[in-house]
């Protein structure tokens, strides 16, 4: 029997971008509760860099990637509610840096009319992340003031737009003037060039010394300490990433001395753990894209074989908005 093969990007050891290899693999067979999808676009996210470097552990070899949109090719046993040819998207794809991949249907949603597969792949992970941060972790209200680091990044641009539609005031940080322009377009009222300015002093100036209600910090190591100083008493520090490196251990008494602050370190999986939450968040973000209410930037799109370059550009802060790989 002839076994159908596909191209995929795997790592056999952890390290720099050079450990990403283009390999031929058999197209996998869907098991119970799974479907096989043909991938049209796959999202590149920082988490794959953490796996590649070995910061997050995985059994090797592994095909990287978890976010993709495509069409259902084959159903596994016991699958209901999906049919061959359906346009679908998920953040739980088992190895999305590939031409085909398996997805558990518990984490699969249909792409509504008016949203392309490329848009779906571009928005699902970062959009649902921005959604839970703004609506659940620290539910923003009109008039709240939020500080969003890396405001021109994938999550940053979406979080700014969602916070703005709620009526919050959004202050962002970015590294360049070009990124500042994009962040303003997304709705930031004030943009701080944290590579040139002291962002803590700027936030205090912009809030007349009061501080902000919430900091959404995905940068981590280089911003964490000063971010705590930007909060008013009983404000919330939402540390949701480590783009500059992990935050070193710290003494919780600091939360007391800096104003009885709250600290959380959330992850998307705990906010889409039930089908109801997944459908709520996916439905909102895909619906907003369909209506043109959530704008996406997808100018960083690479062929699948160039996955290493995509990760280099992400790590070197060269990208804005979403990075996609197209098989």
CB of 256 or CB of 274, closer to ligand NDP: 274
260 part of the interface to ligand NDP, by CB under 6 A: no
Instruction: Say whether 222 sits in a helix, a strand or coil.
Output: coil
Asked whether 90 and 20 are in contact (CB, 8 A), the reply is no
- Of 7-15, 63-71, 251-259, 266-274, the window that binds ligand NDP (rule: CB under 6 A) is 266-274
CB of 75 or CB of 242, closer to ligand NDP: 242
Q: Strand 34-44 to strand 323-326: parallel, antiparallel, or no bridges (unpaired)?
A: antiparallel
- For the CB of residue 280, give the shortest distance to ligand NDP in the complex, in Å: 16
- For the CB of residue 79, give the shortest distance to ligand NDP in the complex, in Å: 27
First to last CA, the chain: 25
- For the CB of residue 196, give the shortest distance to ligand NDP in the complex, in Å: 12
Residue 101, both tokens: 């991949």
CB of 54 or CB of 266, closer to ligand NDP: 266
Q: Is the peptide bond before 249 cis (omega within 30 degrees of 0)?
A: no
Near ligand NDP by CB under 6 A: residue from 95, 104, 156, 235: 156
285 part of the interface to ligand NDP, by CB under 6 A: no
- For the CB of residue 263, give the shortest distance to ligand NDP in the complex, in Å: 14
Asked whether 36 and 28 are in contact (CB, 8 A), the reply is yes
Near ligand NDP by CB under 6 A: residue from 218, 228, 231, 288: 218
Tokens 């596994």, located at residue: 76
Beta-carbon count within 10 A of 116 CB: 16
Asked whether 219 and 227 are in contact (CB, 8 A), the reply is no
In 3D space, the residue among 223, 178, 221, 177 whose CA is nearest the CA of residue 198 turns out to be 223
In whole angstroms, what is the distance from residue 276 CA to residue 40 CA? 26
Near ligand NDP by CB under 6 A: residue from 168, 242, 294, 304: 242
127 part of the interface to ligand NDP, by CB under 6 A: no
- For the CB of residue 163, give the shortest distance to ligand NDP in the complex, in Å: 15
Q: Which residues, 286 to 325, sit near ligand NDP by CB under 6 A?
A: 314-315, 317, 319
Residue 110, both tokens: 């249909």
132 burial class (0-12, 13-18, 19+ CB within 10 angstroms)? buried
266 part of the interface to ligand NDP, by CB under 6 A: yes
Near ligand NDP by CB under 6 A: residue from 35, 115, 121, 155: 155
- For the CB of residue 267, give the shortest distance to ligand NDP in the complex, in Å: 4
Residue 185, both tokens: 């377009």
In whole angstroms, what is the distance from residue 58 CA to residue 295 CA? 34
Near ligand NDP by CB under 6 A: residue from 13, 256, 267, 274: 267
Residues near ligand NDP (CB under 6 A) = 45-47, 125-126, 129, 150, 152-156, 174-175, 179, 218-219, 222, 240-244, 266-268, 314-315, 317, 319
């Amino acid at each position: 029997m002839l076994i159908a093969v596909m191209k995929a990007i795997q790592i056999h050891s952890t390290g720099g971008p050079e450990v990403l290899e283009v390999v031929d693999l058999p197209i996998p067979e869907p098991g119970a509760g799974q479907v096989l999808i043909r991938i049209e676009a796959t999202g590149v996210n920082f988490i794959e860099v953490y796996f590649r470097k070995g910061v997050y552990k995985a059994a090797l070899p592994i095909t990287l990637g978890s976010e993709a949109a495509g069409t259902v090719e084959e159903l596994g046993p016991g699958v209901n509610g999906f049919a061959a040819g359906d346009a679908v998207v998920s953040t739980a794809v088992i190895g999305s840096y590939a031409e085909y991949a398996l997805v558990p249907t518990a984490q699969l949603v249909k792409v509504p009319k008016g949203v392309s597969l490329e848009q779906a792949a571009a928005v699902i992970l970062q959009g649902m992340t921005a959604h839970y941060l703004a609506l659940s972790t620290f539910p923003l209200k009109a008039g709240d003031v939020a500080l969003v680091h890396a405001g021109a990044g994938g999550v940053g641009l979406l979080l700014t737009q969602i916070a703005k539609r709620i009526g919050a005031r959004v202050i962002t940080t970015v590294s360049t003037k070009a990124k500042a322009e994009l962040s303003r377009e997304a709705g930031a009222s004030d943009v701080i060039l944290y590579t040139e300015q002291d962002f803590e002093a700027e936030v205090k100036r912009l809030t007349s010394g009061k501080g902000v209600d919430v900091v959404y910090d995905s940068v981590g190591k280089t911003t964490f300490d000063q971010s705590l100083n930007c909060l008013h008493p009983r404000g919330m520090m939402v540390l949701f990433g480590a783009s500059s490196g992990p935050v070193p251990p710290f003494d919780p008494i600091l939360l007391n001395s800096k104003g009885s602050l709250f600290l959380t370190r959330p992850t998307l999986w705990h906010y889409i753990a039930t089908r109801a939450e997944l459908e709520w968040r996916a439905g909102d973000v895909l619906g907003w894209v369909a209506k043109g209410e959530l704008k996406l930037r997808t100018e960083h799109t690479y062929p699948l074989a160039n996955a290493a370059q995509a990760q280099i550009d992400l790590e070197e802060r060269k990208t804005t908005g979403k990075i996609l790989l197209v098989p």
